[in-house]
Amino acid sequence: MEQPVRRRPGRRKKTPNSKQLLIAGCVIGAVALIVAACFFIFTLAGGCGGEQPTRGDLKELTVGEFVREQETMVVRTSYADVAFPYAFSDLIGVEAVNEQNAAGLTFTVTINKQTHKLYTLWFNAEAGDTAGSFDLKDGFEPVRVSVVFYPVSEELSEDDRTTFKVTQETVNDVLDYMRKDSRFKEN
């Protein structure tokens, strides 16, 4: 004869009372106020008054050697080391771009013997999506780090478009590697 299954009285989930909800609401409100104040100070008001460098003040950005470190391809530059997965090292190229008030690293992919721009990681440029700031240690405030993405060419086949999009995702690896540098600060 089977025994009936007995249910043990379990602990009931505690529901938060109104005092706990009020405290949680105050904490969330305070955090939101702090975030808004920081956004205003550093974005709308132009930071804490530090002078931003101009092209004459920025040293030239150059690309140095490419070094394999385990499964990563590290690119040494005059500003910072950046890295992407070694599996893409036969496809991806990196070029320095020096403009009037900004410098950048343009990442390219070679597909069918044609080079296509994937994205540019900019230092001190107005263009692109902000990724953070970087201290070049030249006596200036940290410069803005941003990323500009380039569209996939309509001339590419569907498979080649997939290759383009997958290699374009290496921007995440580049930024992850930069986060290891204490001079990089996320916004």
Model pTM score: 0.67
Q: Specify which residues 69 forms β-bridges with.
A: 72
Return the closest-CA partner of residue 162 out of 117, 111, 95.
Answer: 111
Report the SS3 class of residue 74. strand
pLDDT digits (tens, 9 = 90+) for 99-113: 878 889 999 999 999
pLDDT digits (tens, 9 = 90+) for 40-55: 444 444 444 344 444 3
Q: How many residues does the chain have?
A: 187
If you average pLDDT over residues 166-174, what whole number do you get? 94
For the chain, strand residue ranges (E) read 63-69, 72-77, 82-85, 92-98, 103-111, 114-123, 129-134, 143-149, 184-185
Q: How many CB atoms lie within 10 A of CB 187?
A: 12
